[in-house]
Structure 1
Amino acid sequence: MDRIRFQYSWVNDTKQRCIFGSMPSIAQVLNIVVMARQKTARIEPASLARSALPGRVVDYVVTLKPDAAIDQAWHRLRPLPGVSVKSWNYTTRARRNPIAIHVETKGPMKSWTDGKPQIATWTDAWLTRLTRIRPAEPWPAIPLLIAQGHDWHLLIVSKKDQKMTIWEEIAIGSTRSCFDAMKVVAVLHWLIDWAETVWRPWFLSLVG
Structure 2
Amino acid sequence: MMSQFWDTHCILSYMVAPLFQDRVYVDDFTASGFELVIGHAHDIATSLTLADYDVDGAPTGSDLRRVPVPLPAVLSAELDGAAAHLGVLDGKILLAALGRTVARTIGSGVVAVDVDSHIIALDCVMPSELDATQLLAHVCSALAGSTVRQPGQTLAELAFRCAGPVSAGEPLEGHLLELRAYRSNGVVQLDLWFDARRFDAYTVEELAEQFPQALIEITSEAIPGFTEAA
Structure 1 and Structure 2 fold alike (TM over 0.5): no
TM (normalized to structure 1)?
A: 0.33
**Greater helix share, structure number:** 1
TM (normalized to structure 2)?
A: 0.31
